[in-house]
Chain A
Amino acid sequence: MSGLSKIVKNVASVFIVPGLIFGAYVVAHGHLTPGGGFQGGTIIATTLALLLVAFGEKSFRKAIGKNALAMLESLALFGFIGIAFLGLQSSFFNNFLSNSGSLFGQSVQFGVNEGNINSAGVIPLMNFMVGIEVASGLTIIVIAMYSGWGERK
Chain B
Amino acid sequence: MELIPFLGAALLFGIGLFALVFKRNLIKIAMGLSIIDSGVNLFLIALGYRSNGIAPIFTTAPVSNAQAAATMVLPAPQALTLTSIVIGLAVSALMLSLAVLLFKHYGSADARKIRGLRE
Residues of A participating in the B interface, judged by any CB pair closer than 8 Å: 32-34, 38, 110-115, 141, 144-145, 148-149, 151
Contacts and interface: CB of A to CB of B under 8 A. Distances in A.
A151 B104 contact: yes
Contact of B57 (A34, A38, A111, A144): A34
Contacts of A112: 58, 61, 63-65, 68
Interface of B: 55, 57-61, 63-65, 68, 82, 86, 93, 96-97, 100-101, 104
B96 to A, nearest CB: 7
Q: Is the interface of B mostly helix, strand, loop or mixed?
A: helix
B60 A38 contact: no
Nearest to A116: B59
Contact of B58 (A34, A113, A141, A144): A113
Contacts of A144: 97
A115 B58 contact: yes
Nearest to B62: A112
A149 B97 CA distance: 10
A111 B68 contact: yes
Contact of A32 (B59, B64, B97): B59
A145 B96 contact: yes
A31 to B, nearest CB: 10
Nearest to A109: B58
Nearest to A145: B97
Contacts of B57: 32-34
A115 B104 contact: no
A71 B93 CA distance: 20
Contacts of B58: 111-113, 115
Most A Cβ at <10 Å: residue of B58, B60, B61, B65: B58
Contacts of A110: 65
Given A110-B65, A112-B63, A141-B93, 16 more contacts: A32-B59, A33-B57, A34-B55, A38-B82, A38-B86, A112-B64, A112-B65, A112-B68, A113-B58, A113-B59, A114-B59, A141-B97, A145-B93, A145-B96, A148-B100, A151-B104
A59 to B, nearest CB: 23
Nearest to B85: A38
Closest 3 CB pairs of A and B: A115-B59, A111-B65, A112-B61
Contacts of A113: 58-59
A144 B51 CA distance: 44
A114 B59 CA distance: 5
A113 B63 CA distance: 10
A32 B59 CA distance: 7
